[in-house]
Amino acid sequence: MSTKSYREAIKDAIAQEMRLDDTVVVIGEDQRGGHGGHQPEVEALGGVLGVTKGLWTEFGSERVIDTPITESAIIGMAAGAAATGLRPVAELMFMDFFGVAFDGIYNQAAKFRYMFGGKAKAPLVVRGMVGAGFSAAGQHSQSPYHIFASVPGLKVVCPSTPYDAKGLLIASIRDDDPVMFCENKILYDMKGEVPDEPYTIPLGVANYTREGEDVTIIALGSLVHQANAAADRLAKDGITCDVIDPRTISPLDETAILESVAATGRVVIVDESAARCGFAHDVAALIASKGFDYLRAPIELVLPPHTPVPFSPALEKLWLPDAAKIEAAARKLMGA
Amino acid sequence: MVMQLDKDQLLQAYRKMSEIRAFEERLHEENATGDIPGFIHLYTGEEAIAVGVCQNLLPTDYIGSTHRGHGHSIAKGCDIHGMMAEVFGKDAGVCRGKGGSMHIADLSKGMLGANGIVGGAPSLAIGAALTAKTLKNGGVAVSFTGDGGSNQGLVFEAMNMATVLQLPVIFIFENNGYGEGTGFDYAVGGRDITKRSSGFGMPSIRVDGTDFFAVYEAVSEAVDRARTGGGPTSIECMAYRWHGHFEGDPGLYRAKGEVAGLRKNHDPLKIFRDKVRDQIKASELDKIDAEVTAQVDDAVKQARAAAYPPAENLLADVYVSY
Ligand SMILES: Cc1ncc(C[n+]2csc(CCOP(=O)(O)OP(=O)(O)O)c2C)c(N)n1
Ligand SMILES: [Mg+2]
């Protein structure tokens, strides 16, 4: 065990898998940084925010592949390589850029297995940042994992801690299906205990980060920590909560969610992906269709408004769900 | 060439370059205070491109810009006070604080937007060019794209479309040697953006992007061609970025002394001053610099003092009607 940041845990996972498996390659923009610059021996960046810094120094340009700025070719190439024997870990930098590159995932990698009668696989990971709160404005703050999760054939992962990031990323790299690995940029500097050796966390197993009796709060990524904070405040007033972090949206741990709802009968779902047709609506539909009889009150959704992410911190603060909004929703359910 | 522009035009061009320089250098300082939200990308060192292009355009012509868009915005006539307020996230900003540095836009000035998506401008610019061609209003559109952005597939598609439809559009490629930390000579296959564009069937040239006059002349020819139905042109402008990719980039990919050399030997404002030495007294240009410094100073003061957007603006302007 060591104390590691979320970003270190991610690098750790990739490095360890690259040591174990020669077919794992990293592909993306400035994964090294410095090619063609004036410092031929320097790993200048290691990803634009330095998350994977050190990989190029250890593995070299054949396995840490710097590309031009060309997301559609990055993802298309990763899909083709995945179908033919490599395990690419491709980086989209900001997941918002999926808009430039979606065909390789949406029409290609996600469909290979089914459309080719089970005769193909695409063991591909696409890493990218999600999340608002950085004043990065409308094209660098989004969390489009709900769009990914709507595509059959894609797995979607949203780790909330350094421990989860490492275990889920190793599982994603070893997984034979294409995985969209969504890193919340707000969490990169978060520290936590992380085992030094490789380990996996199975995709599709939720984590209870708080246990209680009155309300079930469901959240992903950085909002798990807001949900925990809300639960801790509520506990002081004798309202206890389950906080469930599904960790992966696809597959989704329906059992963990329904079990908790069966016990509490009250649900708050928190999310930043979308005010319409998002993660929260999917989970709410699950509960309404399979857990209706457990419910003692309508499901509460704590979501951003149906707007792009605003730049000004004054507006972005209002836009993002937070602990206070979650707490208010839980109190409303408790009638207090 | 210097002769074709009258003195007022030369002074105007210099003023615009000076405004860009002052705006960017001041932002570099202001950013260090921690009061500017988000990411900023500075244009210092590339002033002659934006101004050399936009001095050829009418207010009704359109430009589409990049993540490094302050210079293009100023050159196209966006209000400096409004831009500064925008960068600070204030309600008085050109985009009401909703876009920030990377999304400065003012369609009333023909500025179709800075862009957070690298390679985003060319396809929008061919759209503006299609409007001009369809409405037969004589308008032209210009896209700005970096050397890094030149590799995006959509950029190729836009160039091809422009020749197929003979659109009144000019593709400006700002080759500053790097895309983030990756050198142009690594990322641009064939190492020749101009040759690529000419492969799409349009006149394509490379000019010194630190020389206002070289840019101005090339663009003036391209604009004439576009306005008279002659179709698209591509112009690659060679220049240098003085600051980091974004503010905060330690620039480990650079050679020692690289930036100092740029400031000394490749300063577009100095180059301009040298070229107009016989027509314009240095003191006249100094006076412009002083006025511009005061203007930018005032813009910062007002931006800092301005109010953040009120809560009700959060929900405004998603749809025209709903
Ligand atoms: C589609 C997309 N991919 C990647 C990025 C991240 N990014 C922002 S600027 C940049 C480099 C652009 O280089 P270049 O086009 O040469 O412009 P310069 O920064 O040199 O002005 C990159 C990779 C982005 N914003 N959008
Ligand atoms: Mg560049």
Token pair recorded at residue B223: 């604009």
Angle at B301 between CA B298 and CA B304, to 5 degrees: 145
Q: Are A220 and A160 in contact (CB under 8 A)?
A: yes
Q: Are B204 and A57 in contact (CB under 8 A)?
A: no
- Given a cut of 70, is residue B3 above it in pLDDT? no
Specify whether A273 is located in the same domain as A176.
no
A26 domain residue, yes or no: yes
How many residues in chain A? 336
Average pLDDT along chain A: 97
A115 domain residue, yes or no: yes
Backbone phi, psi, residue A24, to 5°: -80, 120
Nearest CA-CA distance, residue A187 and chain B, Å = 16
Specify whether A303 is located in the same domain as A241.
yes
Looking at the partner chain, which of B116, B253, B258 has a beta carbon nearest the beta carbon of A34?
B253
Tens digit of each residue's pLDDT (9 = 90 or more) over A276-318: 999 999 999 999 999 999 999 999 999 999 999 999 999 999 9
Active site residues of A: 140
At what angle are helices A279-290 and A254-264 packed, to 10 degrees?
Answer: 60
Cross-chain residue pair A38–B258, CB shorter than 8 Å = yes
pLDDT of residue B69: 98
d(CA B89, CA A32): 33
Specify whether A221 is located in the same domain as A91.
no
Backbone phi, psi, residue A284, to 5°: -65, -40
pTM of the model: 0.97
Strands laid side by side in the A248-250 sheet: A64-66, A24-28, A87-94, A125-130, A179-184, A155-157, A248-250
Specify whether A101 is located in the same domain as A241.
no
Average pLDDT score over residue span B45-51: 98
Partnered with residue B106 across adjacent β-strands are: B111
Looking at the partner chain, which of A44, A138, A315 has a beta carbon nearest the beta carbon of B181?
A44
Pocket test for ligand 1, best of B41, B46, B118, B123 (most atoms within 8 A of CB): B118
> Is B122 part of the contact surface with chain A (CB cutoff 8 Å)?
no
Average pLDDT along chain B: 97
Specify whether A190 is located in the same domain as A212.
no
pLDDT of residue A40: 84
Specify whether A159 is located in the same domain as A56.
yes
pLDDT of residue A336: 65
What would the 3-class secondary structure string for chain B be?
A: CHHHCCHHHHHHHHHHHHHHHHHHHHHHHHHHCCCCCCCCCCCCCCHHHHHHHHCCCCCCCEEECCCCCHHHHHHCCCCHHHHHHHHCCCCCCCCCCCCCHHHCCEHHHCECCCCCCCCCHHHHHHHHHHHHHHHCCCCCEEEEEECCHHHCHHHHHHHHHHHHCCCCEEEEEEECCEECCEEHHHHCHHHCHHHHHHHCCCCEEEEECCCHHHHHHHHHHHHHHHHCCCCCEEEEEECCCCCCCCCCCCCCCCCCCHHHHHHHHCCHHHHHHHHCCCCCCHHHHHHHHHHHHHHHHHHHHHHHHCCCCCHHHHHCCCCCCC
* CATH domain B2-315 topology: Rossmann fold (3.40.50)
Residue A209: CB partners within 8 Å, gap ≥ 6? Answer: A160, A224, A227, A228, A243, A244, A245
A199 domain residue, yes or no: no
pLDDT of residue A147: 98
Of all residues in chain A, the one with the smallest CA distance to B86 is A312
Structural domain containing residue A311: 207-333
Residue A177: CB partners within 8 Å, gap ≥ 6? Answer: A113, A121, A122, A123, A153, A154, A155
Residue B149: CB partners within 8 Å, gap ≥ 6? Answer: A69, B66, B118, B119, B155, B179
Average pLDDT score over residue span B49-70: 98
- Given a cut of 70, is residue B21 above it in pLDDT? yes
Domain boundary among A169, A194, A219: A194
pLDDT of residue B143: 98
Domain count, chain A: 2
Residue B273: CB partners within 8 Å, gap ≥ 6? Answer: B14, B282, B285
Q: Are B167 and B140 in contact (CB under 8 A)?
A: no
d(CA A138, CA B200): 33
- Given a cut of 60, is residue B1 above it in pLDDT? no
Identify the CATH number of the domain in which residue A94 sits: 3.40.50.970
Average pLDDT score over residue span B95-105: 98
pLDDT of residue A245: 98
Specify whether A178 is located in the same domain as A55.
yes
Specify whether A85 is located in the same domain as A148.
yes
Tens digit of each residue's pLDDT (9 = 90 or more) over B277-308: 999 999 999 999 999 999 999 999 999 999 99
> Is B35 part of the contact surface with chain A (CB cutoff 8 Å)?
no
Average pLDDT score over residue span A54-59: 98
Specify whether A186 is located in the same domain as A232.
no
pLDDT of residue B4: 83
A202 domain residue, yes or no: no
Tens digit of each residue's pLDDT (9 = 90 or more) over A125-176: 999 999 999 999 999 999 999 999 999 999 999 999 999 999 999 999 999 9
Identify the CATH number of the domain in which residue A255 sits: 3.40.50.920
Domain boundary among A156, A172, A194: A194
pLDDT of residue B322: 82
In this structure, is the dihedral angle defined by the CA atoms of residues B15, B17, B20 and B23, taken in order, positive or negative?
A: negative
- The total of other beta-carbon atoms located within 10 Å of residue A14's CB is 24
Tens digit of each residue's pLDDT (9 = 90 or more) over B119-159: 999 999 999 999 999 999 999 999 999 999 999 999 999 99
Token pair recorded at residue B254: 């650079």
Tens digit of each residue's pLDDT (9 = 90 or more) over B220-277: 999 999 999 999 999 999 999 999 999 999 999 999 999 999 999 999 999 999 999 9
d(CA B238, CA B231): 23
Percent of chain B with pLDDT over 90: 98
Question: pLDDT-derived band of residue B2, with 50, 70 and 90 as boundaries?
Answer: low
Looking at the partner chain, which of B95, B180, B318 has a beta carbon nearest the beta carbon of A48?
B180
Cross-chain residue pair A310–B37, CB shorter than 8 Å = no
Q: Which protein residues are within 6 Å of ligand 1, measured from CB?
A: A 29, 69, 71, 93, 97, 100; B 66-68, 116-118, 146-149, 176, 178-180, 241, 245
Specify whether A148 is located in the same domain as A36.
yes
Tens digit of each residue's pLDDT (9 = 90 or more) over A233-271: 999 999 999 999 999 999 999 999 999 999 999 999 999
Residue carrying structure tokens 């998002």: A278
> Ligand 1: which residue has its CA nearest to atom 6?
B118
Amino acid at site A54: G
Ligand 1 centre distance from Cα of residue B248 (Å): 15
